[in-house]
Structure 1
Amino acid sequence: MDMHILQALKSDAHKANFVGIAAINLSSRDELIAQLCEISNTGRLQPGLRALTDYVGASHYLLARADLVQEAGLDFVVSSDWPFDLVTNLAHAFVGGFARATELEKCMQLFKPHFALLPDTADAPDGASRQFCSLMFNIGRSRLVLMFLFDDGFILSQERLRDVGLLAAYFASFLQCGATKTDRDFELTDRELECLFWIAEGKTSDEIAMILGISRNTINNYITSVMRKTATKTRSEAIAFAVRNNLV
């Protein structure tokens, strides 16, 4: 069994939570693929997430729409078996952290395991480490993140984490995870697309207002809506997002 202590955990404090327990009775990659193929035929998301969770040796999973975290509430959570109180505690920190990241940083995070600590106000399940692992991936224009909790002291495998990142994206894509929500929440109006096109052309709000024959404040409202829907913070990030998703 391939058991490598994750090199990304630099400090002794990090390493202390991921040593001492050997992974046993984990399924092979071929077994996982066979499981996912069988589960995908049923169209059920949760059994597939559980199979991925078991493969990497985690105890709990949470799948979220990272491109919707700027919205209020917990609507960005797709599926989770984390305790509800823990999800609500994590939501604020997750939203804040994602909002501070630039578009380039978000792209660099794709398929790369990221480790963070649960908020001090959050109670981890009995026996679970306070560190959690997240893997981000894209499905079309949707950006999702799969987060895991592990038993305290569990030894992680980089190879298994890479497998899960790729297979989670494939499995969720096959099920079109969150597709309905994407159509409702992400779709830009014709006016918003027009404004996005013109800011990509380097036009200012005043210039776009002249071109479209509407007020500058209305243009700014459209652009603000574009950035909200695309989870971007600046016009430059919105342009980068538009180019990457063939919107302009």
Structure 2
Amino acid sequence: MIPTKKQQMSSPAAPLQSDTLGSRLTSRGDLTSFFMELTAEIGADSYMLVAIVHDQDRNDARIVSSNWIFDAIELIGKRLIAGLAQGPLTAAPGIRPTPLVAAQAPDAGGLVSGEEARLLDVLGHAEVYSLRLNVGRQRLFALFSAAAAGRIDQPALMKAQLKCCYALSHIPQLIAAAAMQDPLSDRERECLFWVSEGKTTDEVAVILGVSSNTVNSYITHAIQKFAASNRAMAIATAIRSGII
């Protein structure tokens, strides 16, 4: 029986098809939608696409796209995120992935400490899978996590990894631009960093050897460049982008 127009409109969206992935991803918004769909398909709660920018520095991670909450990124920090992305449990395409289960850490090869494991669990990342993505010469990793261990579908996860490799290989310029995007000057970046560390404007002025008015000017420029409404939003954007 041919479905009515109403039935067609109310039917669920078709799953992502590999032959349409390349044409669908044309912006950062498309990239976010793509990963949100994959996250739902595999039964995960969260995702993070991480780029390792410098080959000689394992801790220089840039967050290209993510739906982690700001507090989780800030508390866990780039060092741990880079460690999760490039750790011994990270699976290459075609290899059955092994999760980091927070409740079983730090027994998982010393990848995280007991305190870090408890923090991951509290923040809703009780189970974390790290997948290496083969996308040209770029070093990209996808982290998928769930608030409860055993929720993520491993076979579906392996298929999702191949989808990621295929889709991202069609948009190398977009990924590179997202990973390297840093509109701030050195001074603007320094001011945002120290404010994110809890320093006042006067304290930042002393640290940098400039006036308080100059510090405020740098921070205002940073807020404008990020199209943020206040300092907190600018800091959150800079942290999510791996800029500070």
TM-score normalized with structure 2 length: 0.49
Name which structure has the greater RCO, CA cutoff 8 Å, separation 6+. 1
TM-score normalized with structure 1 length: 0.48
